[in-house]
């Protein structure tokens, strides 16, 4: 047992040393928070921690850089920062994690340096609805509470590879994080486009049972759809000609039985996507092209 514990301790120290290279500290009141150096001049962190006017970042070698926000992804609580001058950075290694895997939560304190805690992946899922905000594509849930200041920083595996970015979200008392591949994919979009807007159709609706004529028109087993009770003036739905009283039954080639399905499909397509919407109007099936708006 003693040898096994010694081996585990050695492995953890080595993993922390590797990950410390890309773990940075970000000024924040009342205490510093963390981020991940994903490129020589780019840092990814939690969006809610970063003011619009910019921040001061402390790197692994103790040097500091001013940084400004390149873009925000509010749904995934991610912000991409650009440093005022490039830093030394090696290629960022990433990995996936499964339920039961041990992961290390890291932060960089501007005074104490690297702090770390050990946890376990307790869940790994997809399509998590965050109230009315939208749907997170994928997430990792960890069983331990974070140390103050680790938000925005990395979760890494036993080899020091990036597993996830720690954002603000909690679910049933457990900490959620955005998987590394998804976070880096969103960072690439932020670098190209700036802030990622939340997809917005501009309707209010309620789930209803489809009348027999509508089910016949669909020629399927689908029994429910979304009755439009409000169409916002000037919205993407309004511009496409959707009307109060229409029953939305399909979106981007997939059936829509209720609001949760529509929110998920909107998240998959994203703002500015051009999609085909199927609706029932006057008992007849219609297909309308809609350009998804953003908010």
Side-chain-facing half-sphere of 160: CA atoms under 13 Å:
16
Greatest alpha-carbon span in the chain: 75
Beta bridge partners of 68: 82
Domains and CATH numbers, the chain: 1-193 (2.40.10.120), 199-294 (2.30.42.10)
The tokens for 295 are 């908010």
Residue burial 167-182, b: 16+ Cβ < 10 Å; e: rest: bebeeeeebbbbbbeb
C-alpha–C-alpha distance, residues 165 and 145, integer Å: 15
Q: Residue 102: what pLDDT?
A: 95
Secondary structure string (H, E, C) spanning the chain: CHHHHHHHHHHHHHHHHHHHCCEEEECCCCCCEEEEEEECCEEEEEHHHCCCCCEEEECCCCCEEEEEEEEEECCCCEEEEEECCCCCCCCCCECCCCCCCEEEEEEEECCCEEEEEEEEEEEEEEEEECCCCCEEEEEEEECCCCCCCCCCCEEECCCCCEEEEEEEEEECCEEEEEEHHHHHHHHHHHHHHCCCCCEECCEEEEEEECCHHHHHHHCCCCCEEEEEEEECCCCHHHHCCCCCCCEEEEECCEECCCHHHHHHHHHHHCCCCEEEEEEEECCEEEEEEEECEEC
Q: Residue 171: what pLDDT?
A: 60
Query: Taking 80 as the threshold, does the pLDDT of residue 129 lie above it?
Result: no
In terms of pLDDT, which residue wins out, 23 or 282? Answer: 23
Query: Taking 90 as the threshold, does the pLDDT of residue 193 lie above it?
Result: no
pLDDT tens for residues 269-280?
877 889 999 999
pLDDT tens for residues 239-272?
999 999 999 999 999 999 988 788 778 877 877 8
Q: Residue 136: what pLDDT?
A: 76
Please confirm whether the linkage preceding 30 is cis (ω < 30° from 0): yes
148, 49 in Cβ contact below 8 A?
no
189, 44 in Cβ contact below 8 A?
no
Lowest mean pLDDT among 153-157, 183-187, 282-286: 282-286
C-alpha–C-alpha distance, residues 15 and 108, integer Å: 15
Binned at pLDDT 50, 70 and 90, residue 133 comes out as low
């Amino acid at each position: 047992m003693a040898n096994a514990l010694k081996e585990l301790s050695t492995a953890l120290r080595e993993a922390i040393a590797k990950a410390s290279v890309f773990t940075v500290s970000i000024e924040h009141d009342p205490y510093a928070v963390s981020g991940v150096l994903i490129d020589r001049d780019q840092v990814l962190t939690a969006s809610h921690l970063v003011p619009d006017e910019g921040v001061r970042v402390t790197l692994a070698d103790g040097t500091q850089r001013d940084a400004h926000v390149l873009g925000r992804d509010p749904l995934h609580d991610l912000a991409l920062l650009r440093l005022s001058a490039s830093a030394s950075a090696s290629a960022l290694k990433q990995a996936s994690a499964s339920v039961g895997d041990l992961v290390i939560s890291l932060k960089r304190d501007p005074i104490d340096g690297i702090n770390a805690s050990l946890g376990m992946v307790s869940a790994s899922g997809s399509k998590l609805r965050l109230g009315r905000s939208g749907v997170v594509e994928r997430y990792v849930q960890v069983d331990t509470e974070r140390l103050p200041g680790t938000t925005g920083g990395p979760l890494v595996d036993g080899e020091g590879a990036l597993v996830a970015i720690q954002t603000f979200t909690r679910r049933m008392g457990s900490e959620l994080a955005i998987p590394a591949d998804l976070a880096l994919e969103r960072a690439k979009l932020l670098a190209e486009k700036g802030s990622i807007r939340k997809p917005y159709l501009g309707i209010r609706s309620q789930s209803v049972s489809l009348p027999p004529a509508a089910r016949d028109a669909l020629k399927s087993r689908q029994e429910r759809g979304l009755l439009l009770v409000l169409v916002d003036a000037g919205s993407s739905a309004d511009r496409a000609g959707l009307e109060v009283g229409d029953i939305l039954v399909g979106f981007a080639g997939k059936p829509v039985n209720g609001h949760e399905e529509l929110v998920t499909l909107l998240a998959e397509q994203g703002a500015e996507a051009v999609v085909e919407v199927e609706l029932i109007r006057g008992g007849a099936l219609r297909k309308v092209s809609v350009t998804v708006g953003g908010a």
